[in-house]
Amino acid sequence: MEQTVKVYSTPTCPYCVRVKAYLKEKGVAFEDIDVSNNQGAAMEMVKLSGQMGVPVIAVGSEVIVGFDKGRLESLLG
């Protein structure tokens, strides 16, 4: 079953760029949510993660703060 993947990011965050490149390389479809210009999305991200920092990656109901490649791989299967 395909899981929904959301990446909360900003254009200037190097780890965000790396997460998105990794997902593209793996062929994983994801929604890129730019929280730098979307206050609602930023609030959603903080509510999900309890964090102001990016990237925040939501894989289904699981939330990863930062680019934790090992955890991301295990959640994507």
Provide mean pLDDT across the span 60-76. 95
Helices 14-26 and 69-76, axial angle in degrees (round to 10): 30
Please check the confidence at residue 55 and state whether its pLDDT lies above 80.
yes
The whole-number pLDDT of residue 77 equals 83
> What is the reported pTM?
0.94
Helix, strand, coil shares of the chain, percent, nearest 5, are: 40, 20, 35
CATH of the domain at 22: 3.40.30.10
Chain segment 5-46, per-residue pLDDT in tens: 999 999 999 999 999 999 999 999 999 999 999 999 999 999
3: pLDDT confidence band, cut at 50, 70 and 90?
Answer: confident
Please check the confidence at residue 69 and state whether its pLDDT lies above 70.
yes
Number of domains within the chain? 1
Which range marks the domain in which residue 38 is found? 5-76
* Rounded Cα gap, residues 48 and 42, in angstroms: 10
